[in-house]
Structure 1
Amino acid sequence: MTKEKLRSLGVAIRKVRREAKWSGREVARRSGVPQATVSRVENGQRVDDVNTVERVIAALPISSDAAGPLLAKVRDAYSEVENRRADAGVSLVRDTARRWEKIAITVREFQSGMVPRGLRSPEYAQAADVSPSSIVDRFGDTGCGFGFVVTEGALRTWPADGAVMPDQLDRVARAGELPNVRLGVVPWSVPLPVMLPHGFSVFDDEAVVVETFTAQMTITEPDSVAAYVDAYAQLEAVAVTGDEAAELLARIRRDFEELTH
């Protein structure tokens, strides 16, 4: 029922915007809400803060009387969301990521603090004392797609044994050359469109695995997963890919060689 109410709310907001001949970008500018979030609201997807939806409505060129029914729709749709358990759709079961890595058709990962889990070499994982991944064994399966977005800062962050970094960067570069792997690197000079306190992996738009310092958290609640899918798309949009990514990786590799020799 909540999804139907959110969808009805989104349709109503889109109708007002189009009647005013405004673009989603204009609504975003006037409301101070990211354009991607405006799109999520219009597409009937839940956002984390109900005040965000109210800001979108307040920015629309309509009278307070006309805004009233829209705000009533917001209260109706989000009241059910607020009554749910806070931990619904969240699991701390161990090794969930490994299970998803074996069956997912589409995998997307973002990291801002270290090399993405799916691209870590055994030597890097040991030096950094983090979990490696077996997903590299599936890179040859052309029926699957793999996406990785990593910040330049993460690739320049090295564990105690910095000697592992040149080979690790070579491993990342080779993965980026595979036909079913899309690699993006966000240069340090490019501002992030969305600030995330942690890295994450999205599996088939059905689950998100967040790797914390002491545990793995798996999120399956649909709206939360959709939020991560949206965040990944925004991050990928500002990343360099192809030859630009390869050149950046080569430059970082040269810097490490100078540091470790």
Structure 2
Amino acid sequence: MSFSPSSSVRAAREELAARLRELRLDAELTGKALAGKAGWHRTKVSQIEHAVRAPSRSDVRTWCRICEAADEAEDLIARLRDAESGYVEWKRLQRTGLKRLQESAQVEFDECRHLRAYCSRAVPGLLQTAEYTSALLGLIQRFRELPDDVEAAVTVRRDRKRVLTKGNHRFAFVIEESVLRYRIGGAEIMAGQLSHLLTVMTLPSVSLGIIPFAAMRTATPRPDFTMFDVKNVQVELPSALVTVTAPGEIVIYAKAFEELAEMAVTGAPARALISSAIEELG
């Protein structure tokens, strides 16, 4: 599962165009015949299949109906949404600072009933201490040269953590052992963060798995991603946030999460890894 930030949108459009062409060929229709049945100009089919022209949602439904593949329409429409708005650069999301982005994500966390997240670089946001969040967002703010509203953003993220104890929510987190070792904010902040992990692990709504360095890998490390129920997946790239909504792709992420979770240890072995990391901080 890999992503090319510079070509993400184009690739999504080409993939959609290729699938539409496959449906036409499977239905044994020429482009001219499909256009005629749909009431379109004869060049429209060719333009869509070559990704020169983006189809509308209505176009996709019409195409699938004529090709007797109506059951694929909604999945393809989700792919169309991904192509239109699924890839958003961080500089656009964070142009006014970090606080607004944290606020805009709150509704999604409130509405989600089953959240699954895989992290290989940092502690998941919902499990962070305020000090760790401040250090992490400070790094992001300086690297991306954003307005400095880190303190306000920390407050928003801290308030978001209410979902861990209020409402009908379930959370499954899988992290790499490296997350325990990266010193974000220094030894004191990391010690506090790791101790906090030992506490939140006891919450009935939270499952935390850690993939040890020594684990026999059945899957390579992935980009960090968060699954919100089966509605969408958010993938964090260095330059952008990718939101996946196509049901077929969400299934792939669910499978990836299961594979990663199978390599992870939980309970006492996970606590032992955290305690070991704390001891190494001195």
After TM superposition, the score normalised by the length of structure 1 is: 0.61
Report if aligned partners of 1:89, 1:219 keep a CA contact under 8 Å in 2: no
Within 5 A, what are the aligned runs for 1:2-13?
none
Structure 1 residue aligned with 2:169: 144
Matching residue's letter, 1:254 = E
Report if aligned partners of 1:184, 1:241 keep a CA contact under 8 Å in 2: yes
Report if aligned partners of 2:118, 2:226 keep a CA contact under 8 Å in 1: yes
Cα shift at 1:213: 3.2
Distance (Å, rounded) in 2 between the aligned partners of 1:88 and 1:196: 28
Q: Find the partner of 2:86 among 75, 83, 90.
A: 90
Matching residue's letter, 2:243 = T
Structure 1 residues 32-72: Cα deviation after superposition (integer angstroms, max 9, x where no partner): xxxxxxxxxxxxxxxxxxxxxxxxxxxxxxxxxxxxxxxxx
Cα shift at 1:229: 1.1
Report if aligned partners of 2:87, 2:240 keep a CA contact under 8 Å in 1: no
Q: Secondary structure at the match of 1:87?
A: helix
Within 5 A, what are the aligned runs for 1:32-47?
none
Structure 1 residue aligned with 2:136: 128
Distance (Å, rounded) in 1 between the aligned partners of 2:198 and 2:221: 24
Structure 1 residues 151-172: Cα deviation after superposition (integer angstroms, max 9, x where no partner): 1111111124332001101111
- Where in structure 2 are there 5+ consecutive unaligned residues? 1-18, 24-71, 94-100, 141-152
Cα shift at 1:194: 2.3
Structure 1 residue aligned with 2:45: none
Q: Secondary structure at the match of 2:83?
A: coil
Report if aligned partners of 1:89, 1:220 keep a CA contact under 8 Å in 2: no
Report if aligned partners of 1:208, 1:218 keep a CA contact under 8 Å in 2: yes
Matching residue's letter, 2:199 = R
Distance (Å, rounded) in 2 between the aligned partners of 1:148 and 1:121: 16
Q: Find the partner of 1:106 among 102, 114, 126.
A: 114
Identity percentage over the alignment?
25
- Where in structure 1 are there 5+ consecutive unaligned residues? 7-76
Q: Find the partner of 1:157 among 182, 201, 207.
A: 182
Size of the aligned set, in residue pairs, is 180
Change (3 A) 1:244 1:253: same
Matching residue's letter, 2:117 = E
Report if aligned partners of 2:86, 2:242 keep a CA contact under 8 Å in 1: yes
Structure 1 residue aligned with 2:192: 167
Report if aligned partners of 2:120, 2:179 keep a CA contact under 8 Å in 1: yes
Cα shift at 1:112: 0.8
Structure 2 residue aligned with 1:51: none
Q: Find the partner of 2:211 among 186, 193, 204.
A: 186
Report if aligned partners of 2:132, 2:185 keep a CA contact under 8 Å in 1: no
Cα shift at 1:204: 0.6
Distance (Å, rounded) in 2 between the aligned partners of 1:157 and 1:115: 10
RMSD: 2.8
Structure 2 residue aligned with 1:201: 226
Distance (Å, rounded) in 2 between the aligned partners of 1:142 and 1:183: 19
Distance (Å, rounded) in 1 between the aligned partners of 2:213 and 2:201: 19
After TM superposition, the score normalised by the length of structure 2 is: 0.57
| Structure having the higher Rg | 2
Structure 1 residues 180-212: Cα deviation after superposition (integer angstroms, max 9, x where no partner): 111101111114332244211101111111233
Report if aligned partners of 1:97, 1:209 keep a CA contact under 8 Å in 2: no
Distance (Å, rounded) in 1 between the aligned partners of 2:121 and 2:186: 16
